[in-house]
Every structure is written in C-alpha cells, then in structure tokens.
Structure 1
Amino acid sequence: MAELTFVDKVAARAGVPPGQARPLTEAVLRTLTERISSGEAAALAPHFADELSPLLIKAVEAPEPFGYDEFLRRVADRAGTDRPTAERGIRAVLQTMHRVVGHREFEDALAQLPADLRALAQPLPHGP
C-alpha cells in the first residue's frame, strides 16, 4: 500500500474527503505563512512534498499580526468552506504538521502564534 500523503492524513484527521482536504491544507499553509516570519516558514518548507512546500515561501519577512478569528476567516474563504470545517482543517493540518516537521521546529514556528491558535495543534481529549 502506498504511503499516505500529508493531504490524506489531514483528510482522515478532519473527517473530510481528500478532495476537500487539499484546498483546506493549502489554505492553512498559506495563512500560516502569512502569520509567521519568513525564516520560520522557510524552515518548515523542506519537510513538505514538492507540491506543498512553495506555499511556505514568503516575499516579505514580517509576519502579519492577526488573531484566531482572522486566521479562521482566511482559511474558510480560501478553502471555500464554513468556519467549523475550516477549524477542523486547521486542527488537522497543525497536528499532521507536528508529526512531519518534528517537535522542535514545530514549536519554534508555533511560538509566533497566539495561544488560542496554538491550542488547535493539541490533540482533542477523547471521551469515554
């Protein structure tokens, strides 16, 4: 069996079909890139497949200082989806990214995000 791609893993985590997971993944990576410095984005890029890594290249160094609601709005708009699906997508992309990138680089990049956005990277507690 072929190895699952990043997008396949996001689809499984978010509970969406792969066709919806791709625009969600791209929207989250683009928005994350706007929110973090170009140095942190460039450090993440080599961990992604060739079709996703260009999304982490920035033209400007400075991160844009927007919060959770704006992050969610941008992802929902870019992915053409509703806010609850965008939130699941953000959570799925960040959690998948954590495994792909490794703890230290992931923590370095997420340190630039507000606490409520960083919280989406934490796995949800499972009920009984």
Structure 2
Amino acid sequence: MQHDEFIGRVQDRARLAGRGEAERATRATLQTLAERLPSGLAHNLAGQLPIEIRDHLESAVASDEPTEAERLEPREFFERVAERAGTDRAKGSRLAHAVCAVTSQAVNRPLREKTHDVLPENLRDLFPVEAG
C-alpha cells in the first residue's frame, strides 16, 4: 500500500475532512501504538508500511535495543492518541480504530496476527486479524 492510499483510507474510515487531519491521526496513533509494542515488533511493523508512515512507529522506538511494551488501559491509550492529535478522547478512539484498521490491512497476515496477540486483550480490537 502506498502513502496516499493509506492516508486516503484513514481519512475515509475516520470520516475526516482533510488529509492533514488524517496525517495527524496516523502519526498520533502509530506513535502511541509503538509504545505498546515490543521494539522489535514495532520495527517489523514499520518495515511493511510506506516510508512516510514508517517513521511514526520508528520514532517512538528510536533505540535498536529490545524494549518491553508499555501497558495502558484503553481509556489511557485513546487519551494519548487524542492529545497527540489535538482532539478529545471520543474522537481519539475513532481515529485510533481507523488508523489501526488501515495498518492491519497494509501488513501481511503473520505480522498482523503477532501484533494482535501482543496487544493486551482489552486493546486487541484495534488490530483486527481479519483485515479486508
């Protein structure tokens, strides 16, 4: 999937008015997601995304040293996405779901499954295994 297609899908899925808002949502969500994933998995996920989007994941795990994922409850996760995107928590939740669904579509099934399985059970719906 190319960058323009990725951002367009986020814009459509999240019902956003413009591409700039979709870019902010993507950056906010992927940075927050990367903090929830072991660094090696975040790097692998980034490797299957368009280069312009890859940096959002990799900037959150700048070290090459493996790190443990930070555990947050869904409310905290969505609040962090919202804060980074400059919106409220309800919209942050919608943005996070849209970006994660598109990300899930953009990566291969084994990586999609691994990412889903690593997330805490209460956040797994963010990264659907059956992406279409």
TM-score by length of 2: 0.83
- Structure 2 CA distance for partners of 1:3 and 1:84, relative to 1, 3 Å: same
User: Partner of 2:51: helix, strand, or coil?
Assistant: coil
Alignment of 1:34-53 (within 5 A): 34-53=35-54
Q: Amino acid of the residue matched to residue 12 of structure 1?
A: D
Asked whether 1:66 is paired with 2:67, we answer no
Q: Determine what percentage of the aligned residue pairs are the same residue.
A: 35
Encode CA deviations 1:8-63: one digit per residue, 9 max, x unaligned. Answer: 11010111122211111100100000010001101111111222112222135121
In the alignment, structure 1 residue 119 sits paired with structure 2 residue 120: no
Contact 2:39 2:69 in 1 (8 A): yes
The 2-side partners of 1:12 and 1:115 are apart by 27
Give me the whole-angstrom Cα distance separating, in 2, the residues matched to 1:72 and 1:113. 14
How many angstroms apart in 1 are the aligned matches of 2:118 and 2:72? Answer: 11
2:14 matched to which residue of 1?
14
Unpaired segments ≥5 residues, structure 1: 123-128
Match of 1:126 in 2: none
Gaps in structure 2 of 5+ consecutive residues? none
Q: Residue 94 in 1 paired to residue 100 in 2?
A: yes
Whole-Å Cα distance in 2 between the matches of residues 23 and 3 of structure 1? 14
The TM-score with structure 1 as length reference comes to 0.85
> Conserved in 1, the CA contact under 8 Å of 2:41 and 2:115?
yes
For residues 55 and 26 of structure 2, the distance between their equivalents in structure 1, rounded to whole angstroms, comes to: 13
